[in-house]
Structure 1
Amino acid sequence: MSATQLSSRRLSGALIGYGFISGNGHVPAYLERKRTTDDVEIVAVADICAARRELARKALPQARIYPDYASLLQAEAGRLDFVDISTPPCDHAKVAHAAFDHGLHVLCEKPLTTTLEDAAALLEHARRARRVLFPCHNYKHAPVAKKVREIIDSGRIGKVRALTLNTFRNTHAKGVTEWHTHWRREHRYSGGGIAMDHGSHSFYLTFDWMGAYPTAVTAKMSNLEPGRWDTEDNFSAALTFPNGVAYAQLTWTAGVRKVMYTVQGDQGAITIDDDDLQLAVMRRTDGPDVAQGAVTWEVEKYSISSHWMDASHVSWFNSMFDQFLVAIRDGDFVGKDAREAYLCIQIITQAYRSAADSCREKPLSAEAWHVPSVPMEREQGLRLGR
C-alpha cells in the first residue's frame, strides 16, 4: 500500500511494551486523537508482564493483547500499519527489525538503540524496507521549545553562539512497579544511565537551536552509588559546533525537578526556567563600551504552559505524531529525525569514551549515516522539520 493511501485512512497501530510511558503518555494521546481526528487506532498491545497486560486490556478494551512482540507480529500480520515501541532500550533494535520484516512503520522511544552499530543497522533496514523509522524526540514539541524556535527564526537574537541545557531530576525515572521499578539503573536493560536515558533530548535540541551538528565532544560522569547501580547518575558534556559550543548537564541527584536552558545569540539571549521564558534583545546606544552604557537590553517575559512536571509529556505527543504521519505520507523513511537519533547515539557513545579516557575530546561525524553536513541552513534545501 502506498504512503498516500495510508495517509488517507485511519492507521492501525500496535503498542510493544505497556509501561509508564505507554500507559500514561502514548495511550491517552492516541485515545484523544481518536476522539478528535480519528486517524489512528491502537488495535493490539504486547507486554511480557501479565499484570501490565491486564491494565492494557482495561485501558484499550477493543485491543488484542499478546504476551510478547513476536506473537503479536505473527498474529496481526496484514492488519497493522505501524508499531509503537516503548520497551526498555535493550529491546528497541530487535523489535524494530522484526517490524520492518513484517512491512510496518516504526515509532520508537528514545534512545533509538543502545549501540552505534545497532543504530546504523536499523537505519539501513528502514531504507531497504521502505518503511518509516521515527524516534520519539518529543522535547522539540514542548510549547516553550517551540517558542525558542520561533524567536531564533525571527532573527531577534542574531546568530546563536552558545547553549546551556541543564536537566535536574531528584531520582531516575521509575519503571512500573508491576515489572521492574529500577530498570533504568541496570545497564543490561538501559544500555547506560542518565546520558543514555536523557541525553538524546538535550542533544537534538542543540542541533535545532545551533542550526548545525557538532564535531567533537568531551564528557565527565559519575555514579554516586556504585555498589547499588552500574550506570551513571550525573553527566556533563561540552559539544563543539562549527559556529559555537553547547554544554549539557544531566543529573538524577538534584534537589528539584527542573529544566534550565539558555540560548546565547550575538544580538540577544533566551533564558528558560521550566515554563518561564525571558528574551533579552540588545539595543546599542552611544557609549564607548558596555560598561559605560553602550548597550542596553529590551527584556520580554513569557509564561508558556508546557507541563514539565508531567513525566509522561502526554500533551506533546500528538504534535510529534503529526510529523510521523507526514513522514509516512511523504515516504521519508530515514528522515532528519531518524538520522539525528543516530547522531545522538554517536554522541553518547563518544561521551562514554571521553569520560573513560580522562575527559579527552572525541571526534564526531555528521556524515556517519548520511546526516547532512553543517551548517543546516534552509537555503541549502535541507528539511529542518520546523
Structure 2
Amino acid sequence: MSATTRGCPPLRGAVIGYGFIGALGHLPAYAERRHRRGDVEIVAIADICEARRELAARTYPEARIYADHHTLLAMEADGLDFVDICTPPCDHAAIAHAALDMGLHVLCEKPLTPTLGEAAALLEHAEAAQRVLFPCHNYKHAPVVRAIRDIIDSGRIGDVQAVVLNTMRNTHAKGVTEWNTHWRRHREFSGGGIAMDHGSHSFYLTFDWMGTYPVAVTAKMTNMAAMRYDTEDNATVTLTFPNGLASAQLSWTAGVRKVTYAIQGSRGAILVDDDDLQVAVMRATDGPDVAQGAVDWDVERCSIASHWGDASHTTWFDALLERFRRAIATEDWVSRDAHEAYRCVEVITAAYQSAADGCREIPLYGSVHLLQHHVESVAHVGEAIAVTS
C-alpha cells in the first residue's frame, strides 16, 4: 500500500519524459517543494533517449532511471503514488492508462490527449479506477491570471460578456536538441500545431472567466511553413458561449513573445499585457448616452510579476501541485480540471473541423457519452486542415 493510500506524505512520484518541460519545469519545482515542504519526492525518471537519460542520472543521482514507462512501472509501481507525464501528446493516453491500471494517480501535461475519444476514455478509466487524473493547466496559476480571477470574483467589472486572448510567439516551442527539436511541428508526435499546443491554455481560461462552457466553435488556420511542417502555425478561434463570445488569436510567427488578454464586463474591463494589468470600472453616469462620454471611469494600473518570458513556468507549478494533492486527498478522481481538459480537446477538435470546412460553425456536445458518435466522425479531421502559405 502506497504512502498516499495510508494518508501519509510525502507523495512518491515518477516523471516520464525528461525533455524541456520535464527537466526545466516539473523536476526543479518538485525539488524546490521537497526542500521547502518535504511532502513530495521523485524517485524515478524515464526517457526513451539515451542522452537524456544520462543527463537525468547526472542531475538527479538519487532517482532511478529507466528507458521507457513500461519498465519504470513494472519496477516501481508498488512504491509510487503518481506519475507525471511530460512526453509529447502522442503518448499521453497510453502512459496514463498504464499508470491507472497500476493504481497510480496521473498528472499530465496539456493537451490531455490529441483526440477526443482518447480523452473520454481516460476520464472514464480514472473514474472506474478511483485514481486522480489531473491536467497541468499551469496558466491558471500565473500571478497575473490569479489577479484576474480575484477581480472577476469581486464583481467590480460586472458580468463577463466577452474575452479576447492573444498568444504571440516568434517560433514554436523547441524540444531538446538530443531528441527531436521540432516535434511540435510534426502531427505524428504533437497531434496538431499551435491550436493543439497553446489552445488548451487559452480555452480553459475562457471557461473560467466566462463561467461556463462554449456551445459552438469557428476557426481559421494557416501554415506559413507548409513546405517543412504538417501543422498550423497560426489560428484564430471564436467560441460562442451562452453568455457571450471569446476569441483566441494564436501565432508562432508573431515576431514577439507576448500575451495580451481583455476581459470585458458589464461595468468595466480588465486589460493585461504580460505582467501589466489595468482595470477600468464605470463610476458614474450623467445620462443614457455612454458613447458620448457620459461615464466617468476609475482606472487602476499595476504590474504583477509573472515571468511570462520563462517558458518553463516553474514558479507556477507549486500551486498546481497543491491542487493535485488536494484532489488526491479528497478522492476527486475526475475533477473540474479534468473535465476542463476534456473540454479543451473538444474545442480543439471542433476548431480543426471548422478550419477544414471553410470556417463553418461547429456545435459542441459537452457530454462524454453523447459525444461518442461525434468523436468517430471527426477523429481524423485534423489531417484535412487547410495549410495555405
Q: Hey, what's the Cα distance between the residues in 2 that align with 1:41 and 1:54?
A: 20
**2-structure distance, mates of 1:191, 1:136:** 17
- Superimposed CA distance per residue, residues 211-264 of structure 1 (whole angstroms, 9 cap, x where no aligned partner): 010000000000001110000000011000000000001000011000000000
Show CA shifts across 1:195-220 (max 9, x none). Answer: 00110000000000000100000000
Q: 2: CA distance between counterparts of 1:234 and 1:193?
A: 8
Matches within 5 A, 1:329-340: 329-340=329-340
2:304 counterpart residue number: 304
Q: Match of 1:67?
A: 67
**Correspondence for 2:349:** 349
Task: Report the equivalent of 1:47.
Answer: 47
Q: Output the CA distance in 1 between the equivalents of 2:83 and 2:97.
A: 11
Please state how far the C-alpha of 1:292 moved relative to its aligned partner: 3.9
Letter in 1 for 2:154: S
**Shift, 1:97, TM fit:** 0.4
The 5 Å alignment of 1:202-351 reads 202-351=202-351
CA positional deviation for 1:52: 0.5
Give the Å deviation of 1:36. 0.6
Contact 1:165 1:260 in 2 (8 A): yes
Structure 1's 104 and 4: CA in aligned 2 closer, same or farther, altered over 3 A? closer
Partner of 2:106: 106
* Misfit runs of 4+, over 2 Å: 1-8, 290-293, 365-371
Structure 1 SS opposite 2:270: strand
Cα pair 1:287 1:293 within 8 Å, conserved: no
Deviation at 1:369, TM superposition (A): 5.8
Letter in 2 for 1:296: D
The aligned runs of 1:94-173 (5 Å cut-off) are: 94-173=94-173
Q: Please tell me whether the aligned partners of residues 219 and 354 of structure 2 are also in contact (alpha carbons under 8 angstroms).
A: yes
Determine if contact 2:77/2:104 at 8 Å carries over to the other structure.
no
Asked if residue 84 in structure 1 is aligned to residue 84 in structure 2, the reply is yes
> Secondary structure in 1 aligned to 2:164?
strand
Q: 1:141 to 1:370 in 2, by over 3 A?
A: farther
Classify 1:288/1:90 alpha carbon distance in 2 versus 1 (closer, same or farther; 3 Å): closer
Unaligned runs of 5+ in 1: 372-386
Shift of 1:77: 2.8
Aligned to 2:194: 194
CA RMSD of aligned residues (A): 1.4
Q: Provide the TM-score with structure 2 as the length reference.
A: 0.93
SS of 1:76's equivalent in the other structure is helix
The answer to whether the 8 A contact 1:285-1:294 is kept is yes
Structure 1 length normalisation: TM-score? 0.94
CA spacing shift, 1:291–1:111, aligned 2, 3 Å: closer
Superposed CA offset, 1:77-115 (max 9, x none): 311100000000000000000001111000000000011
Query: Which AA in structure 2 matches 1:16?
Result: I
The one-letter code sitting in structure 2 at the alignment partner of 1:307 is H
Say whether the 8 Å CA contact 1:4–1:330 is kept in structure 2. Answer: no
Closer, same or farther: CA 148–57 of 1 in aligned 2, 3 Å: same
Q: Aligned residue for 1:28?
A: 28
- Output one character per residue of 1:275-320: Cα deviation in whole Å (capped at 9) or x when no partner: 0000000122324422443212110001000000000000000100
Q: Which amino acid aligns with 1:310?
A: D
Contact 1:217 1:238 in 2 (8 A): yes
* Equivalent residues of 1:339, 1:370 under 8 A apart: no
The AA in structure 2 aligned to 1:94 is A
Q: 1:368: how far off?
A: 3.2
1:268–1:281 Cα contact (<8 Å) kept: yes
Find the residue that maps to 2:178 and give its secondary structure.
coil
Specify the SS of the correspondent of 1:256: coil
Distance 1:364 1:53 in 2: 42
Query: What SS does the corresponding residue of 2:43 show, helix, strand or coil?
Result: strand
Match of 1:376 in 2: none
Distance in 2, matches of 1:189 and 1:7, equals 37
Q: CA deviation at 1:59?
A: 1.9
Q: 1:62 is paired with a residue of what secondary structure?
A: coil
In structure 2, do the counterparts of structure 1 residues 366 and 3 end up closer, same or farther at CA, with 3 Å as the change threshold? farther
Deviations 1:130-161 (A, max 9, x none): 10000000000000000000000000000000
Tell me the number of residue pairs that the alignment of Structure 1 and Structure 2 aligns: 371
Distance, in Å, in 1 between the alignment partners of 2:285 and 2:72 is: 67
* Residues 1:28 and 1:4: Cα distance change in structure 2 (over 3 Å): closer
Aligned-partner Cα distance in 1 for 2:285–2:43 = 63
Secondary structure, counterpart of 2:77 in structure 1? coil
